[in-house]
Structures are given as C-alpha cells and as structure tokens.
Amino acid sequence: MNLKRLSTRRILMSALGVIICGLSVGMFKHASLGVDPFQSLMSGLDAVIPIRFGTLYVIANLLLLAFALLFDRHKIGLATLINLFLLGYIAEFSQRCMARLLPGPTLFLRFVILAVAIVIMCLAAALYFTADLGVSPYDAVALIWSEKQRRVPFPICRVITDFVCVFGGALLCRAAGFTFRQITGEVGVGTIITAFFMGPLIAFFNRRVAESMLYGRDGQRDSHAKNEL
C-alpha cells in the first residue's frame, strides 16, 4: 500500500472524526437530556467559569495533555492536537446552529436529536480510533492509569474517571445555582446511554465504515497491516 496515501487517509479520518464528534456534542447539549461524562464536567466548569466554552475546553484539555506528556507521551499524536484545538469550538458552533434551526424543541424532538447525536458520536469515535493517530487527552488518562496500575483493568479505570466527571459536573452545576431539571439536562439519560451502550455501535461503525475507509472495501486488515511494515 502507498504509505503516503495511507497517512493522508488517517489524517482525514482523524479530522473528520473530531468534526463529527464536535457536532454531536452540540446536539447533545441542545437535546438537554444529558451529555457524555467528560462533557458533563465541561458543562459544570462552563457554568462557573465565565469564558467561552471553546476556550475553556482547550484549557481543560491542556491540563490533561500535560498529565499524558508527563506519564506516557506515546498516547499523544496528531489526532490529540486536532481534538484539543478544534472540538470545543465546533461543539460551540453546533449548539448555536441547533438553537437557530430548532428553537424550543418538544420532548419527542429532543429524544430524536439525542438518538442522532449518539449515532454520529459513535461513528466519529470509530473513525477517530481506527485512524490510530493518538487519543484525546481525556481518553489518555484512563489508558495511562490502567497501564501504570496493572492491578486495575482499563474498564474499571474508565468507569471511575467517568464517575468523577459526572459527579464533579453535577456539583459544579449545583454550585452555579442550577435547578435539578437543569442538572439533569447535563447529567441525564444521554449520559447513561453513552456510558453503557456506545460500545456495540462503535464496533459496528468500525467494521462497516472506518476499516473500509482506511483499508479499502476489498482488502483484509491483516494483509494491509503487513504492507504497512
């Protein structure tokens, strides 16, 4: 396989994955039925820190990036930087567009928006992970923790980091004066669904879309992997 072409594909898939992920975050926020665990923490920080969400997202991820660079810089790649500097602003733009296109959505429409957001977030994750050009600063935390503390498997590390984000986000929202209804808009059914049901959808998009984009429809992953060596 042409390595230059493969590298270009990986970069494009990473960028596309981050863009789609940012759009889905804006949809999650507009649906107001709960966001993914890390975004729930970001929502709490956004409620108490008076700066643009996109800028706040960059600052928070720079802190996580410093942790990753300190303990395992191999988790950091081009996709990490794309995620760091683009996702927050894309999510901010997406939320504004959704508010203009669908102002005051009904409960039924909010669930439709949530369902679409979950599907496209899983597609984004499949593109992002298959491209294999680094992970997001938040994903790196649980990965590094599980590798440094070998007694604790990655799924448990991820559950703990997700719980900390959800709990911290809820506390920050409460401290900012959010009502219970407003808090459940950030930490709600969408948060539960993303925590427990995204895996199978990501695996589906990985097999059906992401690997075909990277390796070609008629090729097998193993044969292409050998050509990369």
Task: Please report, for the chain, the start and end positions of each structural domain, with discontinuous segments joined by +.
Answer: 3-228
Give the lowest-confidence range in 5-9, 49-53, 223-227: 223-227
Q: What is the pLDDT of residues 145-185, one digit of tens each?
A: 888 877 778 778 888 888 889 889 889 998 988 888 778 77
Cα dihedral value 125, 131, 133, 136, nearest 10: 0
Calpha distance 87→57 (Å, rounded):
8
pLDDT band of 5, cuts 50, 70, 90: very low
Listing DSSP states for 6-69 in one string gives HHHHHHHHHHHHHHHHHHHHHHHHHHTS---HHHHHHHHHHHHS-S-HHHHHHHHHHHHHHHHH
Residue type, 32: S
8 A C-beta contact, residue 117 and residue 98: no
The reported pTM is: 0.77
pLDDT at 217: 62
pLDDT at 218: 55
Q: Mean pLDDT score of the chain, rounded to an integer?
A: 83
CB count in 10 Å sphere of residue 70: 9
pLDDT at 195: 72
